[in-house]
Chain A
């Protein structure tokens, strides 16, 4: 009796499952990349989407569509007027924001990416120099779509140039909402019919402030990130007399108040592995002497470059790109956030580099 009642109940509930009036899977289109752009008059929003087209078996093509609307989702629904298939937003691999759009503010992008439950929070988000259409309209070389190329590009950048692999929507949201932090995400650009990383884009609240070129971005990254990897080249005369050190950096930040001014001390612990050494290759093999020499050279090189970048950040970027103000906020209270934010120009930043050579490679 009891089991019969249960079975009846379960069968009854089965009637409510299923996806009536839903589009079946073969009629779905897969959107892989979305670009957020703005029209020429800066009033209307342009929304670029890259999608896959399935023609029979093993014939996959891709298309790019550009739609205009007053808001992001209006542009999205306008797309359905052209596209012959329904689409899902959860499959997006990469969002690209154009420089123009980012300068106008990305508050709506952050809001819809978090609010819309269909969107995935792990999607990569980058800024592009130039328009999004330029990025998506190229023919992909290494992957099947441009969005995949953007994604792979950002994910692969982790192993060098001191980039982190935190470039998802969730990390953007964290940087936006946590006090004393600024949004810093990778920037890409079109280069000779493909794309490359152009540097890092720094936002002030939700508006793009500046795109830092890659030469400077390396040192900003080194000061900014924890547990990242990159190469430092010590060139004495030319490439025939140089040392390459692959560094893994770990940073610690201390905050103090000196004469009413904030003083940040960034301690960098750098562990290096020598990858190339033609500098004192011919000399007698006193390992300790070589290592000491390289260590001093590396420390001096880093000190010089990092202090240069700090000066530049204070006078040129005028915004905390090193992610250090959060320590001041944590120490002096969250209600002082605004004053800490504004005091960046007057504060003092000291770098203490501590290098250690962990390996000299196959050679002694």
Chain B
């Protein structure tokens, strides 16, 4: 086990929440309100089961196998051939997600603050910086996640400004149509994706005691943040306007009236851009890890290759409507795949454990 690639339990918390919270915060509310109208925030709570299940199952799988690393574990469970396929699929999953996050960042930045740059240049520069961020392994990514978490935590306070400005009639009746809640769940998958990183990094935690708790805490934190932001957005604007905006939370931020600052939006983007960047960096670690496991190319070299792939994927999703339509189509399949993998691996690992005990 490479020393540079291990993290502590607390860092696990920061990595997991930072892999999830990113571009989703500003665009999540639009998707759920389109499907579930004013009760979209409930759909987010229900969908919060997915990351929690993901974290718990991946911990249990490795616990049953005595915390051996991913490739060994997978080979024990599925055999060599299937492992190869699954690893490639995981790497595609992360490359796609990271490409979507980077193009999302580029779209958002060129839409609001840096109008003088082409989004393609932003994609290129971001992937360059992400390469630099994750080339030295998980430890650096985890440390930076921790730093960025503390730098951006005050964003959490912005919605509080709007609580008494909203009107409670905007979220009533609480649920109009129970069926719509479930159709809204797939739109939240992109915001919750990134939690699959736990499949790669659970064996890399040094102090395993309580690692499960840290993972669950990160998921609950994310769910609360998402729910709170969406609830306040609907409370203030109503679901109709929310569902028609590209970045509802950015709109909400732009309506704040703060003394001295004429427009809070650019400042917010400057700070929140760091968080999105860190999300992409976490995903890049996942992508590179699985890529190098699948192709047996050393980590540092595959970091360059995956950076290039990601930049190409990101360029294909440049206007925002292209990106959102593509992620809406692809996400359910990716989540479905990960779910099936997790359950299959969990059952097999239980079987392995029982067998071992019999011996």
Contact = CB atoms under 8 A, between A and B. Distances in A.
A334 B176 contact: yes
B237 interface: yes
B20 to A, nearest CB: 27
B152 interface: no
Interface centre among A18, A90, A334 (most CB of B within 10 A): A334
Interface string A161-191: 0000000101001100111100000000000
Contact of A20 (B116, B169, B238): B116
A117 B320 CA distance: 15
Given A117-B112, A326-B167, A329-B169, A174 B125 contact: no
- Determine which residue in B37, B128, B169, B170 has the highest number of CB atoms from chain A within 10 A of its CB, and name it: B169
Interface in B149-180: 167-170, 172-173, 176
Given A6-B132, A331-B172, A22 B116 contact: yes
A177 B173 contact: no
Contacts of A121: 251, 254-255
B111 A174 contact: no
B41 to A, nearest CB: 16
A363 interface: no
A179 to B, nearest CB: 7
B251 A19 contact: no
7 contacts: A9-B132, A16-B121, A16-B125, A180-B169, A330-B172, A331-B172, A334-B176
Contacts of A20: 116
Given A6-B132, A90-B263, A122-B255, A178 B117 contact: no
A37 B79 CA distance: 74
Contacts, number: 70
Nearest to B236: A174
A21 B240 CA distance: 39
Interface string B185-227: 0000000000000000000000000000000000000000000
Given A16-B121, A177-B238, A334 B255 contact: no
B38 interface: yes
A158 interface: no
A122 B167 contact: no
Contacts of A330: 168-170, 172-173
B257 A177 contact: no
Contacts of A16: 117, 121, 125
Interface string A122-154: 100000000000000000000000000000000
Nearest to B38: A334
Interface string B244-271: 1100000100110100001100000000
A5 interface: yes
Interface of A: 5-6, 9, 13, 16, 18-22, 90, 114, 117, 120-122, 168, 170, 173-174, 177-180, 326-327, 329-331, 333-335
A125 B210 CA distance: 56
Given A13-B125, A16-B125, A178 B37 contact: no
Contacts of B112: 117
B240 A333 contact: no
Nearest to B244: A177
Nearest to A174: B237
Nearest 5 CB-CB pairs, A to B? A330-B172, A178-B238, A177-B241, A330-B169, A170-B255
B255 A333 contact: no
Nearest to A118: B115
Contact of A179 (B117, B168, B240): B240
Nearest to A325: B169
A6 B257 CA distance: 38
B147 interface: no
A155 to B, nearest CB: 11
Contacts of A173: 237, 241
Contact of B257 (A18, A122, A174, A180): A122
A19 B116 contact: yes
Interface in B39-95: none
B297 interface: no
B280 to A, nearest CB: 16
A333 B237 contact: no
B354 interface: no
Contacts of A331: 172-173
Name the residue in A178, A329, A331 with the highest tally of chain B Cβ atoms < 10 Å from its Cβ. Answer: A178
Contact of A174 (B128, B132, B173, B238): B238
Given A16-B117, A117-B112, A177-B241, 12 more contacts: A6-B132, A9-B128, A9-B129, A21-B116, A122-B257, A174-B241, A177-B237, A326-B167, A330-B168, A331-B172, A333-B173, A334-B38
Contacts of A174: 236-238, 241
Nearest to B117: A16
B309 to A, nearest CB: 20
Contacts of B129: 9, 13
B255 A327 contact: no
B128 to A, nearest CB: 7
Contact of B132 (A5, A90, A120, A177): A5
B184 to A, nearest CB: 15
B249 to A, nearest CB: 13
B229 to A, nearest CB: 17
Contacts of A21: 116
Contacts of A327: 169
A333 B262 contact: no
Contacts of A180: 169
